[in-house]
Amino acid sequence: MGTQVADSLAFDVAIIGAGIAGGALALALTGEGLSIALVEAREVQQPALPTQWSVRHFDPRVSALAPRSRALLDQLGVWETIAAYRSCNYHHMTVWDAEGTGQIEFDRSEVDTPALGTVVENRAIVGALIERACAAGDIHVFSQTALASITRVSSGHMALALHGGGALQADLVVAADGALSPVRGMMDFRTREWDYGHRGVVATVQVERPHEATAWQRFLPGGPLALLPLPGTERKHFCSIVWSMQEERADEVLSFDDTAFCDALGRASEWRLGDVVDSSQRLSFPLRQRHAVDYVQAGIALVGDAAHTIHPLAGQGINLGLLDVAALAREVLRGTRQGVRPGQLELLRRYQRQRKAENLLMMSAMDGFKRLFEQESLPLRWLRNTGMRAVDQMLPLKQRLMQYAMGLR
């Protein structure tokens, strides 16, 4: 618990944003003698266990967690709660090109792992993290409390004003406040941004045939379409879709009624899972790749989407965010054991060195993939399809790609 300083509560670390990155960081720091504030603008609560199987009873935001992310959530003591909610392992991945004959298959047997990944609704992950954070004696959760401003005070501490009148002080402020990070803006962190002029249309759909515990991805000329497997029943099969497309096409698709949308999606997926029989309401997100030039200043660190947003085509966003969390927690805890303050710039720079290059590499790879699959010129299409077929035959290369995507390298 924080200590009272003048009119504000003082903490060692104040984390702004209790999404997956912020919640995981609070738990990664707990139990080591630090006092932690977790400040979240929305109401934080554990979702009730779902009792109905319909497209309307899933969280539209899901994450395909790589095995390393799942292992981290297990270490934080929340995996059992998440699994008791509901989740779906996928054992296989099929990637194919709409403009030809290229196809790559990835299977868990090729990398000797129980699953290539696990699809979980975000509300289950966040709910489990928050439940545990609320039970920890050294984490103070401020729910429905938005950060209003930050000031650096002469002692080197950060002074935080909260909407509604509260005030905090912290040695280290961590921005885990998402892609539009207010903290990043308030503290003048610069970013590099690429606007794709695309939107990601997201929905939960019910399909006619079982998804075979497979993540399906088709590269269409307008952008990739991913169908991620969700848990279901013997007769009801569900997938979460992310369908990237140009703005004008997104406006058109979002105007479709359920029947027209299901038809369009069936066509776009070449009916690999049979007809699309039902769809939840569609949501859409602008697709923008964004990377902070620096992740740290004295007393401040950015993690997760606040530091980087990546094209969702390989579902790597929160997987990178959880690797940030693990690296920052490691450095802060090492510093604490050596008597170093968590906000010390040198300590924070070590975190930045570990994460920035790796995040940039993944972002560049996704950008390259996306651009390659957009090309409509005949030679490039030929090269792409030949390349996909060749990669499919090269087990060592496929193994390396899978290990990279699963966070095992």
Ligand X SMILES: Cc1cc2nc3c(=O)[nH]c(=O)nc-3n(C[C@H](O)[C@H](O)[C@H](O)COP(=O)(O)OP(=O)(O)OC[C@H]3O[C@@H](n4cnc5c(N)ncnc54)[C@H](O)[C@@H]3O)c2cc1C
Give the residues lining the site for ligand X (CB under 6 A): 16-22, 39-42, 63-64, 146-147, 176-178, 182, 200, 202, 242, 285, 304-305, 312, 315-319, 321
- Sheet hosting strand 117-121, strand order edge to edge: 62-65, 117-121, 87-90
Q: Among residues 59 and 177, whose Cβ is nearest to ligand X?
A: 177
C-alpha dihedral (256, 259, 261, 264), degrees to nearest 10? -120
Q: Among residues 125 and 276, whose Cβ is nearest to ligand X?
A: 125
C-alpha–C-alpha distance, residues 233 and 211, integer Å? 12
CB of 335 to ligand X, least distance (A): 23
Count CB neighbours of 354 within 10 A.
18
Q: Among residues 240 and 336, whose Cβ is nearest to ligand X?
A: 240
CB of 386 to ligand X, least distance (A): 29
Q: Among residues 30 and 181, whose Cβ is nearest to ligand X?
A: 181
CB of 17 to ligand X, least distance (A): 3
Burial 116-138 (b: 16+ CB within 10 A, else e): bbbbbbebbbbbbbbebbeebeb
CB of 132 to ligand X, least distance (A): 16
Q: Among residues 206 and 316, whose Cβ is nearest to ligand X?
A: 316
Q: First vs last Cα of the chain: how many Å apart? A: 37
Token readout for 49 is: 């266990």
Ranges of H-type helices in 295-377: 317-337, 345-374
Q: How far is CA 179 from CA 20, 172, 276, 405, in A?
A: 13, 20, 31, 22
Q: Among residues 202 and 250, whose Cβ is nearest to ligand X?
A: 202
Q: Among residues 106 and 384, whose Cβ is nearest to ligand X?
A: 106
The radius of gyration of the chain's CA atoms, rounded to the nearest angstrom, is 22
CB of 324 to ligand X, least distance (A): 8
Token readout for 163 is: 């909407």
- DSSP symbol at 213: T
CB of 308 to ligand X, least distance (A): 8
CB of 229 to ligand X, least distance (A): 12
